[in-house]
Amino acid sequence: MGRGVIFSAFFAALGQLSDARFLRVVLLGLALSLALLVAAYAGLIFVIDIFTPDTLTLPWVGEVEGLHTLLGWGSLAAMLVLSIFLMVPVAAAFSGLFLDTVADAVEARHYPHLPAAPRVPLGDAAIDAVNFTGVLIAVNTLALVLWVVVGPLAPFVFWALNGYLIGREYFQLAAMRRLGRQAARQLRRDNRLTVLAAGMLMAAPLTVPVVNLFIPVLGAATFTHIFHRLNRTRA
């Protein structure tokens, strides 16, 4: 049953991707992602400029010039790789700040009989997003270290860790809109394998540049559908 719920929810979310409210959040995500990437890259270049001489004298080799240029190109390549990890905290931030917008659009189209959900106060949403983003950054710093240690198994470690965390957070936020915090937590625990599998489905595309820009929106929409289907089954 879990697999059927996940894929039907995902394709329902995919079918609504052209919704204006979805596209507005995608554009916000693109702007935030680019801003974070540019800021991180500028910080890295600043550090290179401060601590790296343009000319380095090596034993038996002599002077090596153009070190700034070489490290600059190397840092660009490194930032492209690190952008994969950057999308994880971006997805986390969006889960808290913009899930209501996406969930409202999903419910307006697919569950029009429902009354309007109470809005989560912006301050509470921001606090939840910051806390969860901090956890994800810590976990992905560990995943980055493990990437070097476990080699070919690294993507599976990344997907498992982030799948658990993303599934937990997205489902909890989607369910809290209708059930409150405690009942949402219980429903998530009762369906932990479904939530984990759906989280891993969202985590895997986060490693694909460009595609990962759409995952925060698709994730919020998918978990809104999953919540309603599991909640209906429970009732």
- CA 82 to chain CA centroid, Å, is 14
Structure tokens at 187: 């429903």
User: Which one, of 103, 230, 232, lies nearest residue 177 by Cα?
Assistant: 103
Asked whether 195 and 168 are in contact (CB, 8 A), the reply is yes
Give the range among 6-10, 37-41, 115-119 with minimum mean pLDDT: 37-41
Q: What is the pLDDT of residues 139-197, one digit of tens each?
A: 777 777 777 777 777 778 878 888 888 888 889 889 988 988 889 889 999 999 999 99
Asked whether 3 and 220 are in contact (CB, 8 A), the reply is no
Length of the chain as a residue count:
235
**HEC assignment per residue over 123-183:** HHHHHHHHHHHHHHHHHHHHHHHHHHHHHHHHHHHHHHHHHHHHHHHHHHHHHHHHHCHHH
pLDDT at 107 > cutoff 50: yes
Q: Which residues pair with 74 in a beta bridge?
A: none
Domain ranges of the chain: 2-16+83-234
What pLDDT score does 70 carry? Answer: 44
Q: What angle do CA 129, 135, 136 make, to 5 degrees?
A: 85
What pTM value is reported for the model?
A: 0.75
Which of 67-71, 85-89, 119-123 has maximum average pLDDT?
119-123
Give the range among 44-48, 52-56, 80-84, 170-174 with minimum mean pLDDT: 52-56
Q: Report the distance separating Cα 99 and Cα 202, nearest Å.
A: 15
E strand segments, the chain: 55-58, 62-65
Per DSSP, 205 falls in state G
pLDDT at 108 > cutoff 60: yes
Q: Report the distance separating Cα 194 and Cα 200, nearest Å.
A: 10
